Amino acid sequence: MKAQKQTTKRDLLKKVPLFSNLSKGNLDEIAKIADETEVSAGKAIAKEGETGLEFVFILEGQAKVEKHGKVVNRLAPHDFFGEVAIIDGRPRTATVTAETDMKLLVVESRYFARLLEKTPGLLNEIMVALCKYIRDAG
């Protein structure tokens, strides 16, 4: 049963652009440490100023991103968040709130370094995404 769930996670992960170029083996590594979870509309998934403990991939649903109470972005399936606080160890830069019921894959911070180590090319993909985020914010 575990192999079937892992295969399902792998199939979900393949749909995330961040992971689209990764091998089956790399996707399996991520599937092993990512937890699938669901959140209800209206729930704050991440709060600005709090310690970031997860790297989150959106599988289904929509979320809004707020900085200082102002909506600055909207997230949809295949988007991700939480990488900034995990990478630099500082508080979250924004609040992310579910606008609809959502299905997420979550990697806890304690597994994040292992994920980067075991998944060649992922760090580069994250850096490119962060650069896009910085350019879009400016």
For the whole model, what pTM was predicted?
0.79
CA distances from 98 to 23, 101, 117, 133 (A): 31, 7, 30, 20
Owning domain of residue 27: 2-137
Assigned token pair, 23:
């091998």
| Number of structural domains found in the chain | 1
How far does CA 2 lie from the centroid of its chain?
22
CA distances from 18 to 27, 42, 65, 130 (A): 11, 26, 19, 11
In this prediction, residue 29 carries a pLDDT of 81
Mean pLDDT in the chain?
A: 84
Question: Which comes out higher in pLDDT, residue 109 or 6?
Answer: 109
Work out the angle at residue 27's Cα, subtended by the Cα atoms of residues 60 and 121, and round it to the nearest 5 degrees.
105
**Which pLDDT tens digit goes with each residue over 8-61?**
788 877 777 777 777 888 888 888 888 989 999 999 999 999 998 898 989 899
What CATH number did the domain enclosing 32 receive?
2.60.120.10
pLDDT higher than 60, residue 6: no
8 Å CB contact between 109 and 53: yes
Question: Which comes out higher in pLDDT, residue 80 or 128?
Answer: 80
Question: Which comes out higher in pLDDT, residue 52 or 124?
Answer: 52
